[in-house]
């Protein structure tokens, strides 16, 4: 692994915090049906998809909680109509968790960053600089994918 200057790491951390503060969305605590969800439940929804399921164990590990804790959270989300459970077609012992359409809509309302604030921020940059920023973000995202799969 290449040596990275401490000042580069500090700059990325500082930039991340400033961007996050400038564009942070307040979590939606209510779905369109009026059912309230906690910030933790919103985070769980953020890790699920409509078409690709995940197991309770994988989700619990990823979020750093016990599988029993995750099961309780998923019970509440299922009762609210946000997620559905389905037996895995390949291994009937496993249960897969999927978002429902309501869960997907609620997830989209719970984005960490507000797209309109990001657009306003990018709109303050000249086009050439904006393209540099986006290109740099893609490089950083690719590096993140490599680090997270290692």
Q: Do residues 38 and 10 both lie within one domain? A: no
Q: Do residues 32 and 60 both lie within one domain? A: yes
Question: Residues 73-89: pLDDT tens digits?
Answer: 999 999 999 999 999 88
Q: Is 114 a residue whose pLDDT tops 80?
A: no
Question: Residues 116-139: pLDDT tens digits?
Answer: 888 999 999 999 999 999 999 899
Q: Do residues 95 and 43 both lie within one domain? A: yes
pTM over cut 0.75: no
Q: Do residues 87 and 37 both lie within one domain? A: yes
Q: Do residues 82 and 130 both lie within one domain? A: no
Q: Do residues 15 and 47 both lie within one domain? A: no
The domain in which residue 121 lies consists of 1-25+114-150
Q: Do residues 82 and 15 both lie within one domain? A: no
Q: Do residues 53 and 100 both lie within one domain? A: yes
> Chain-wide mean pLDDT for the chain?
85
Q: Do residues 128 and 60 both lie within one domain? A: no
Q: Do residues 55 and 1 both lie within one domain? A: no
Question: Residues 31-47: pLDDT tens digits?
Answer: 555 677 887 888 899 88
- The pLDDT, as a whole number, for residue 72 is 94
When divided into structural domains, the chain yields a total of: 2
Q: Do residues 93 and 42 both lie within one domain? A: yes
Q: DSSP readout, the chain?
A: -----HHHHHHHHHHHHHHHHHHBPPPP-B-TTS-B--HHHHHHHHT--SSS-EEHHHHHHHHTS-HHHHHHHHHHHHHTTSEEEEE-SS-TT-EEEEE-HHHHHHHHHT-SB-HHHHHHHHHTS-HHHHHHHHHHHHHHHHHHHHHHH-
Q: Is 26 a residue whose pLDDT tops 80?
A: no
Q: Do residues 128 and 79 both lie within one domain? A: no
CATH number, position 45: 1.10.10.10
């Amino acid at each position: 692994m290449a040596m990275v200057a401490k000042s580069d790491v500090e700059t990325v951390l500082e930039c991340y915090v400033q961007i996050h503060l400038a564009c942070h969305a307040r979590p939606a605590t209510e779905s369109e049906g009026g059912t309230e969800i906690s910030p933790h439940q919103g985070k769980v929804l953020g890790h699920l998809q409509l078409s690709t399921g995940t197991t309770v164990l994988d989700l619990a590990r990823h979020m750093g909680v016990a599988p029993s804790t995750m099961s309780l959270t998923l019970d509440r989300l299922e009762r609210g109509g946000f997620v559905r459970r389905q037996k895995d077609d390949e291994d009937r012992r496993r249960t897969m968790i999927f978002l429902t359409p309501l869960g997907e809509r609620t997830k989209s309302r719970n984005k960490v960053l507000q797209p309109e604030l990001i657009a306003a921020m990018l709109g303050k940059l000249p086009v050439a600089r904006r393209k540099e920023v986006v290109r740099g973000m893609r490089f950083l995202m690719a590096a993140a994918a490599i680090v997270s799969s290692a």
